[in-house]
Amino acid sequence: MRRIRHGEMADGGRLPGEHDLAESYKVSRSTIRQALAELQQAGLIETWTGAGSFVRYDGAPLDGEIGWGESLARRGIATQAHILRLERIADAALAAELGIRQSSPAAVDFLALDRVRRMQVGEAISLERSRLPWRKGFAQILRAGLVEGSLQRTLASLAIRSVGGCEAVALARLTKEDAALLGRTEGEAFLATQRTVHAADGGVVERVDSLLHPDHFRLEFGFGERP
């Protein structure tokens, strides 16, 4: 911040990447992410996605930050999310995979949220399995449910904010269980995505595995600098 305010960083200049900044200041990348988020909130920097993936539904781009349901609704596409599972679970393997320190038995606990999203006419278009590292405020979700049926609005009400993450994509064949939930045929090809979302402090906000109907969804990749 001092270098920016004193003019050492020119307006429009490009900051080094997270790795280079962490090396330069001898701090962790999670510390760098938090510092960049604070600079952005202060209006001192802007962030642009130089490389990333963009989910589209029937050609319309979806905003993952506000949630697919709300993003679809804003485009006049009515869907209904049917909750299949909403409970607290323990998953030591997932906690280890996500790098969560197992300092106590509760450290391996997650909020599990499984949903099938359908069109108004009833066709299932996605199956989403979300796992969120357990937080104190999540107990009220089990009691009262999601705020207006939206996970993103629920997290916002708890002051939980994500700043970025990563996503992997593959082609998957539906298992017997998933096919039954989606009303499809076992072995049918669906687009499978695995998304890990992080908070400003580097902690994991959510891991979500989704199966997307390939007749409606597609994934576009961008690269290079924004013109």
> How far is it, in rounded angstroms, from Cα 105 to Cα 92?
9
Coil, strand or helix: which one is 108?
Answer: helix
| Structure tokens, 222 | 């961008």
Q: At what angle do helices 29-41 and 18-25 cross, to 10 degrees?
A: 110
pLDDT of the residue at 24: 73
- The predicted-structure confidence for 64-120, as pLDDT tens digits, reads as follows 554 555 556 665 666 788 999 999 999 999 999 999 887 777 789 999 999 998 887
pLDDT of the residue at 106: 75
Alpha carbon distance, N-terminus to C-terminus of the chain: 26
Would you say the pTM of this structure is higher than 0.75?
no
Token pair 């938090």 is found at: 34
pLDDT of the residue at 114: 98
Q: Which of 144, 127, 136 is nearest to 83 (CA)?
A: 127
- Checking if the pLDDT of 215 tops 60, the result is yes
- The predicted-structure confidence for 8-23, as pLDDT tens digits, reads as follows 444 444 556 666 677 7
Q: Which of 226, 227, 218 is nearest to 54 (CA)?
A: 218
Helix, strand, coil percentages (3-state) for the chain, rounded to 5, are: 30, 35, 35
pLDDT of the residue at 29: 67
CB 206 within 8 A of CB 131: yes
- Checking if the pLDDT of 51 tops 70, the result is no
> How far is it, in rounded angstroms, from Cα 104 to Cα 149?
31
- The predicted-structure confidence for 166-206, as pLDDT tens digits, reads as follows 888 889 999 999 999 999 999 999 989 899 999 888 889 99
Q: How far is CA 128 from the centre of its chain?
A: 11
String of DSSP letters for 172-213: EEPPHHHHHHHT--TT-EEEEEEEEEEETTS-EEEEEEEEE-
49 pLDDT tier (thresholds 50, 70, 90): very low
